[in-house]
Structure 1
Amino acid sequence: MARRSIGIIMNGVTGRMGYRQHLVRSILAIREQGGLTLADGTVVWPEPILVGRDEEKLKTLAERHGLDRWTTDLDAALADPGAEIYFDAQLTQVREESLKAAMNAGKHIYTEKPTAESLEGALDLVRLARAAGVKNGVVQDKLFLPGLLKLKRLVDGGFFGRILSVRGEFGYWVFEGDWQQAQRPSWNYRAQDGGGIVLDMFPHWQYVLEQTFAPIRSVYAHTATHIPERRDERGTAYPATADDAAYGIFELDCGIVAQVNSSWTVRVDRDELVEFQVDGTEGSAVAGLRNCRFQHRAATPKPVWNPDLAATEPFREQWQQVPDNTEFDNGFKAQWELFLAHVVADEPFRHDLAEGAKGVQLAELALESARLGRRVEVPPLGI
């Protein structure tokens, strides 16, 4: 059995997402399972090279996981001929230039989103990747969540009939940092540092809506900074200049209307931190991170509005669960495996920089809609 080692420069692994999901639960998990076995029997063995700005943090992470390759010198890592892939989980502000440097060095790239702070920057990356002839991918992890995979199964099976609407609720309460420490980094709440829930979450909603249902034709968004002052990691007060909540309405092809609320200032009264309800002529479903429940037309109850009487129907008990029918792996790991197969064996991979640019476009148009106070059409990218 042939074994193919592949060096992966991992920039930004000292951050929460880069460390937990990409290093530990993806790359190290692939190593723990003995590598990734391709269709021809070749075993791909990822060799991570940790890159970041904090030498002490990198050294600690490397020692914790028995890794011996780490550096604070990105240029030196990019000069390594054994490093074939560059991965970026840095702050959005510095991502674009690092991706360009990696592609100019001939590396295939895989990156978190948003790929850039502006649509023009995202399109520049697409053009450079094509000119450099490098393979490229963007993390679109929510497509690989068990709940959304089950929902896609219903869509592909024609369960809904004609889909009418999608309603999404995402968010939770992020503490302000005064009497309890915040669960998210302070830069998320500073526009000047690339923060804001629109730039963070609307790229997700773009690929979820388009790849699960239909392309987005227009967006209307209202944004808010509900909490104007927060405290940073050192306990110092700072003005929150970025949006911490966004309320969006999207028109999709086929007349589907989607509404998605995104908020870091909402207390959770849902089964999961994100849920999507889909209603169609033949049935409805509610999908979260892991579960998906459905109700067919024939099993739909007939409630009657009467505010003078207490509701007695057990509405939530009137739904059925979509069965697992398979084992679901970590979504980040599943996409990493697809990308590694794409690089090594030229297996198909649709989640490229052009797809990532669509997410940046939607975020940019949503912010424009919020400024103008009106609906904005989503034009084709033309790339």
Structure 2
Amino acid sequence: MKKIKDSEVHWGVVGVGNVCEVKSAPAMKIVPNSKLVAVMRRDEEKVKDYATRHGVSKWYTDPEKLINDPEVNAIYIATPPYAHFELTKLAAAAGKPVYVEKPMARTHEECLRMIQTCRDAEVPLYVAYYRRALPHFVKIKEIIDQGILGEIRTVHINLKQVLKPTIVANLDNNWRVDPEIAGGGYFFDLASHQLDLLDFFFGAITHADGFSSNQAQAYEAEDIVVGSFAFESGVLGTGNWCFTSSENAEIDEVTIYGNKGMIRFETFGKGEFTLELDGKPAEKFHFELPPHIQEPLIDSIVGDLLGTDTCPSLGTSAARTNWAMDMMTIKRIG
């Protein structure tokens, strides 16, 4: 697999939008041996504004021009999922490593095509499941791997959110609930992080099933999903996601159960989790999170490209998450 020959990673960002304001692209300027050299967005006024505010010397409105810029040696695709495959093809054809936003694509089939495209071009494919590199989740994996919870039996995801009036009022500008663009609704946007994180903890998801529905009929995509899944390690799990709940029912909780204790955490909250072991008082762990939340993962990508580190989030692992989501939403009720 070809990495890069240079001593620094020179990033070009395709689709420089909201996710690039704080979460991702600024980290590319502060990670050692990494530079952000060019950004692209089709709206000329917006891309110029971003480049000016963030001190980026080059900007484009054409993705091919950015991808083929000789100064750029790695491509970050920060567009909605519908464009990921075609842009990955362009980057791979140019012989440049690809870092793509999550979810990896709209469907598992698109993921497989992206993997094959990069494999044929011999370029790495990374996916922005940055929670794999955050300190509290790395610590949870250490606890699991060290056997502190004993044998892991099961895991349960419980995510409930309110359907806010602003969501309904701005559907035309909300690509996250347009299946043609996003592949699904908020389940694809949010549950993908959770399922990928469990894949990180327990190994590959090997079985998945479930039901989905559009109960509130506020938009086209599913708004509720219930699912079950299994991992290669033998751990079994369930999930319940509802995006039209009442305010007093809102919850973000993942619970991991072993035969010696349990761990509870929020996927989208602070860098905290609670460890409860049999016969001992509950212990709360807290970790400071970086201001640019993708920084630890981007740091690992830069290291991987330069041969000094390995990245925990690859196209092959991310594709498994898409497969699980496909399996859990294929049976639509109503």
SS of the residue 1:21 aligns to? coil
2:275 counterpart residue number = 294
- Cα offset for 1:120? 2.3
The letter of the residue matching 2:120 is: A
Q: TM-score, normalised by structure 1?
A: 0.76
For 1:100 and 1:175, the matched residues in 2 are separated by: 37
Q: Which residue matches 1:340?
A: 302
Partner of 1:132: 121
5+ long unaligned stretches in structure 1 = 37-43, 230-239, 300-317, 374-383
Distance 1:372 1:172, change over 3 A: closer
SS of match in other structure, 1:22: coil
- Structure possessing the higher radius of gyration over alpha carbons: 1
Which residue of the other structure, out of 220, 223, 230, is the alignment partner of 2:209? 220
Partner of 2:11: 8
Aligned mates of 2:122, 2:21 — CA distance in 1: 29
Secondary structure at 1:298's aligned position in 2? coil
The 3 A distance-change label for structure 1 pair 107 and 53 is same
| Aligned position for 1:381 | none
Alignment of 1:1-383 (within 5 A): 4-14=7-17, 16-24=18-26, 26-28=27-29, 30=30, 35-36=31-32, 44-177=33-166, 185-194=173-182, 195-229=184-218, 240-267=219-246, 274-288=252-266, 289=269, 290-299=271-280, 319-322=282-285, 324=287, 328-329=289-290, 330-345=292-307, 347-368=309-330, 370-371=331-332
Is 1:7–1:46's contact at 8 Å kept on the other side of the alignment?
A: yes
Bigger Cα displacement from structure 2, 105-114 vs 189-198: 189-198
Deviates more, 1:344-353 or 1:95-104: 344-353
Residues 268 and 286 of structure 1, relative CA distance in 2, 3 Å threshold: farther
Cα–Cα, structure 1 residues 283 and 61, in superposed 2: closer, same or farther, change >3 Å? same
Please, what TM-score do these two structures have when normalized by structure 2?
Answer: 0.86
Query: Contact between 1:247 and 1:262, CA under 8 Å: does it hold in 2?
Result: yes
Distance in structure 1 (CA, Å) of the matches to 2:232 and 2:10: 42
The change in CA–CA distance for 1:169 and 1:183 in structure 2 (over 3 A counts) is farther
Pairwise CA distance, 1:125: 1.4
C-alpha contact 1:136 1:353 (8 A) present in aligned 2:
yes
Which deviations, in whole Å up to 9, do the C-alpha atoms of 1:309-349 show, x marking residues without a partner? xxxxxxxxx5221365xx65354110001101111236323
Cα distance, 1:108 vs. partner? 0.9
| Aligned mates of 2:224, 2:173 — CA distance in 1 | 16
Matched-pair contact (CA < 8 Å) for 1:119–1:364? yes
Q: Post-superposition shift, 1:261?
A: 2.3
Amino acid of the structure 1 residue aligned with 2:105: A
Compared with structure 1, are the counterparts of its residues 129 and 253 closer, same or farther at alpha carbon in structure 2 (3 Å cutoff)?
closer
- Do the aligned partners of 2:152 and 2:235 also contact (CA within 8 Å) in 1? yes
Measured at CA, do residues 222 and 185 of structure 1 come closer, stay the same or move farther in structure 2, by a change above 3 Å? farther
CA contact (8 A) 2:127 2:315 kept: yes
Q: For the structure 1 residues 372 and 323, does the alpha-carbon distance in structure 2 shift closer, same or farther, using more than 3 Å as the test?
A: closer
Contact 1:12–1:90 at 8 Å: present in 2 too? yes
Task: Give, in whole Å, the separation in 1 of the partners of 2:37 and 2:246.
Answer: 38
Change (3 A) 1:185 1:334: farther
Quick one: which amino acid aligns to residue 70 of structure 2? Answer: P
1:154 is paired with a residue whose SS is helix
**Alpha-carbon distance, 1:257 to partner:** 2.4
Whichever residue aligns with residue 15 of structure 2, its letter is G
Query: Residue 294 of structure 1 aligns to which amino acid in structure 2?
Result: L
1:254/1:85 CA distance change after superposition, 3 Å: closer
Question: Aligned to 1:20, what secondary structure does the other structure show?
Answer: coil
Q: Residue 3 of structure 2 corresponds to which residue in structure 1?
A: none
Quote the offset at 1:184 in angstroms.
Answer: 11
Q: CA deviation at 1:147?
A: 3.6
Q: Report if aligned partners of 1:174, 1:184 keep a CA contact under 8 Å in 2.
A: no
**Long gaps (5+) in structure 2:** 1-5
1:199/1:363 contact within 8 Å kept = yes
* Pairwise CA distance, 1:88: 0.7
Quote the RMSD (CA, aligned, Å). 2.8
